[in-house]
Amino acid sequence: MGPCEKSRMIDICSTRPGCVRLSIVMPCYNEARTLRACLKRTLAIQDEALRLEIIVVDDASTDDSLAIARDVASQNSEVTVLQHEINQGKGAALRTGIRNATGDIVAIQDSDLEYDPRDLKRMIEPILENSADVVLGTRFTLSGAHRVLYFWHYLGNRFLTLLSNMLTDLNLTDMECCYKVFRREVIQSIRIQESRFGIEPELVAKVAQMRLRIYEMGVSYAGRTYQEGKKIRARDGFRALYCILRYNAFKAPVPVQLFLYAGIAGVAAIINIILFLVLRRAGTGDSAAIYLAFFPAALLDYLLCVGLLFRHKARWNAAAEAFWYMLVVGAVLALDFSVTRWMLDASMSPFLSKSAACIAGLAFNFIGRRYIVFPEAAAGPWK
């Protein structure tokens, strides 16, 4: 659709009292079998009160998806087709489509036939009534026919939703549901970072942190098998787990952060202990072994902290963050050295000595990282 046609569509809608423009962003990768039918179903929900802007983002499909999308667009001015030259993933396609959306409300629609676009008309109602800023779909609050498929997918989804709820303090039933509807100014204010299926937990995390009015509404679901073209894999589940931690943990309550940090510190402590024992067995003196084992463990601790728990450069610039980090590391090293030496001098085993030092440093490590190295700004919109 050219600029003139799009401008004319906006003018027509703006002159009709009660007319709402809904932008539907449709990522597409190798969906030639379903794309035309999906677009037809989506176009069918348009009426006098609801004008559509459908943005198909072809993510470098290798089948006829792009040609089909362009053919439908040539016959329907409501459809715009954007193209990625290189496959980047669902999140990247949504990022492109959302950036180009101009409607009052923006919805996400997969280009397969798993979801029924008629549900979108119900989902926008709380926004039109000024009751909600975001409406999320759920496949687990029955509102229509649901195809029965994979049990382990269901169980994994429930686990990820539970973990997400624990960190966002929401009570969603289906965090991974495709259908998500936003006020346009809300979704366009969010910096989307995930390029694949991790976008689902990322969006939930960020709207939760913005303290918006969030509703959930049951939708129909006709899931498909892998033989029918389903693309999500086990690795996407692990990525979702990572994203839940990455985009929520830095805003979680302090007791939750301490619990998560205990896991990080536990991994670093294991490395610390193993290296210490190996160095001693190799003939390295106790003092040197303490120093040499400590620093690789401290580096691993830092990388896990910025990867899973705290935001890198949350308040400081890179140089200041490095300074405060080294200051905290120095203090913890002094504690680690003192406890290890004291217990070795008391004839305790090297394993128990180093283990006790790691445990002693846990609380100090967390406090130093949480309040000195990675001090978090006041809660507010996630930028």
DSSP calls for 50-62:
EEEEEEEEEES-S
Query: Cα dist. 177→198, 216, 254 in Å?
Result: 12, 10, 29
The reported pLDDT for the residue numbered 208 is 94
The pLDDT value given to residue 367: 92
Domain coordinates in residue numbering, the chain: 3-249, 253-373
Q: What is the CATH number of domain 3-249?
A: 3.90.550.10
Strand order in the sheet with 134-138: 79-84, 50-59, 20-28, 105-108, 180-183, 134-138, 214-218
- Contact present, 41 and 126 (Cβ < 8 Å): no
Whether the pTM exceeds 0.85: the reply is: no
Q: What is the mean pLDDT of each run of 10 residues along the chain (383 residues)?
A: 41 56 96 95 95 97 96 96 95 96 96 92 96 94 62 83 92 93 97 91 94 93 63 77 92 88 94 95 93 94 92 84 92 93 92 92 91 72 42
Burial of 75 (0-12, 13-18, 19+ CB in 10 A): exposed
Radius of gyration of the chain (CA): 26
Pairing of strands 134-138, 50-59: unpaired
According to the 3-state scheme, what is the secondary structure of 285-349?
Answer: CHHHHHHHHHHHHHHHHHHHHHHHHCCCCCCCCHHHHHHHHHHHHHHHHHHHHHHHHHHHHCCCC
Q: How far apart are CA 320 and CA 272, in angstroms?
A: 26
Q: How many residues does the chain have?
A: 383
Residue 8: the pLDDT is: 38
The DSSP call for residue 370 is: I
Measured between alpha carbons, how far is residue 245 from residues 119, 340, 378 in Å? 31, 33, 19
Cβ 115 vs Cβ 187: under 8 Å? no
DSSP-assigned states of every residue in 122-153: HHTHHHHTTS-SEEEEESSS-SS-B----HHH
Alpha-carbon span 344 to 285, nearest angstrom? 12
Q: What is the pLDDT of residue 9?
A: 43
Beta carbons within 8 Å of 66's beta carbon, 6+ residues apart? 58, 81, 83
Burial of 313 (0-12, 13-18, 19+ CB in 10 A): middle
Rounded CA-CA distance 269/263 in Å is 10
Task: Mention every residue, 6+ apart, whose C-beta is less than 8 A from residue 116.
Answer: 41, 144, 219, 220, 222
Please give the C-alpha separations between residue 46 and each of 125, 225, 303, 348, in angstroms, as whole numbers.
15, 30, 49, 76
